[in-house]
Structure 1
Amino acid sequence: MNGQVERANNMVLQGLKPRIFNRLNKFGERWIAELPTVLWSLRTTTSRATGYTPFFMVYGSKAILLTDLNYGAPRVRPYNEQGAKASLEDAMDQLNEVCDVTLLRSTKYQQALHWYHSYQVRGRAFNVGDLVLCLVQSNKNYHKFSPPWEGSYAITEVLQQCTYKLKTIDGKVFANAWNIDQLCRFYP
């Protein structure tokens, strides 16, 4: 029901499947051991929409990796009490700036997605007198080789932007209205 949750679950599954697949014992209980690793990788991977990792967005700092500890990266050197207050103030200033940058990047990303989607969608409309086919409404005597469209009907009236009244070729007008999703242009 919730698209974001479904997408997140799908990403977790995509990370788990290659790690736990075994031809003899497909899933077993190995996924329990692999789940923390997959979640860590998802939380430390940069998002295309924001330009930052989910870990950074929640905690306001980069995640400390095991390699940083092993090789003594500059940011994990021993803690210094004198510089802690100054570094905390700098971090808070940077965090506000990062929030603004993230908001701009996210907005730009959403606008680009909206433009791409709008560019790919072609508008459809019918005029009075156009010939159309209707989607089959009844499953009676329906089998897999049955055609999905029926008739050829003519548009008699445009009720709203995507709602139409139809008539048969004989001139009989249908009482119900048809949505454009249930119609397809007929080319005689």
Structure 2
Amino acid sequence: MDIVGPLPHASGNRTYMLAMTDYFSKWIEAEAFPQVMEKHSNGQAESSNKIVKNNLKRRLEEIGANWAGELPFVLWSDRTTPKVATGQTPFSLVYGAEAVIPSDVQVPTYQYANTTEERNQVEMASSLDIIDESRTSAQIRMVTYKQTAARSYRNVRLRTLQVEDLVLRKVFPNTKNQSTGKFAYNWEGRYGIEDIVGNGAYKLETMDEEVVSRSWNIIHLKKYYV
């Protein structure tokens, strides 16, 4: 479970997205909210899923204030895109068959144009017969992928912060001063580390010792040296 945001203000004053990702299939469910209470994320906001944090969040920020209305289409695109870890789409791992994408309907492929209801039923039944084999293959590939990634990063040192450390916080597109254009600052602050929440998440406080209302992941923080 991840909190994504703050994003540009959408209808209903919604600025946050609560996203949940199935560990195996990579299927994402997401909803837009005006606010997401810390108890909903168990203090692990934006810490568990790279796809949600980076790819999905970036695409929603590019859409602007209409991101909440475009969310179903962004999710559909993600669900029908093959994942490196499994080699398959989330849709196929959940339903046992690939989705028919809109472009196949608007400009019919040979297979789509020559498919009858009876033939489709036969092919769907065949797909269900091999779904266990497909999921097993995806599981093996995912384990292999994780082992390869672990070997690649075995010498990487984890970055940590301590209470009372000073940090700068990343500036997001919706909080950046647009009048400054490309000369806008990418980091803001200073902030102090008020508490260590866990799993790379920290509570911040201002220089006036006012606690910031939400936790921040270390990927959005940079240590400040006096």
TM-score normalised by length of structure 2: 0.44
Q: Which residue of 2 aligns with 1:154?
A: none
SS in structure 1 opposite 2:74? helix
RMSD: 3.2
1:97-112 alignment to 2 at 5 Å?
Answer: 97-112=133-148
**Residue of structure 2 aligned with 1:8, choices 48, 52, 56:** 52
- Greater share of helix residues, 1 or 2? 1
| Post-superposition offset of 1:85 | 5.1
Tell me how far apart the structure 1 counterparts of residues 145 and 135 of structure 2 sit (CA, whole Å): 15
- Greater share of strand residues, 1 or 2? 2
1:12-161 alignment to 2 at 5 Å?
Answer: 12-20=56-64, 29-77=65-113, 78-81=115-118, 83-84=119-120, 86-118=122-154, 120-121=155-156
The count of corresponding residues between Structure 1 and Structure 2 is 118
Aligned partner letter, 2:117: N
C-alpha change, 1:86 and 1:45, in structure 2 (3 Å) is closer
C-alpha change, 1:6 and 1:98, in structure 2 (3 Å) is closer
Aligned partner letter, 1:47: K
Unaligned 5+ runs, structure 1: 21-28, 123-136, 145-188
SS in structure 1 opposite 2:73? helix
C-alpha change, 1:72 and 1:138, in structure 2 (3 Å) is closer
Moved over 6 A (4+): none
Contact residue 86 and residue 138 of structure 2 kept, 8 A: yes
What percent identity do the matched residue pairs reach?
28
Tell me how far apart the structure 2 counterparts of residues 76 and 102 of structure 1 sit (CA, whole Å): 26
**Whose radius of gyration is greater, 1 or 2?**
1
| Post-superposition offset of 1:91 | 1.0
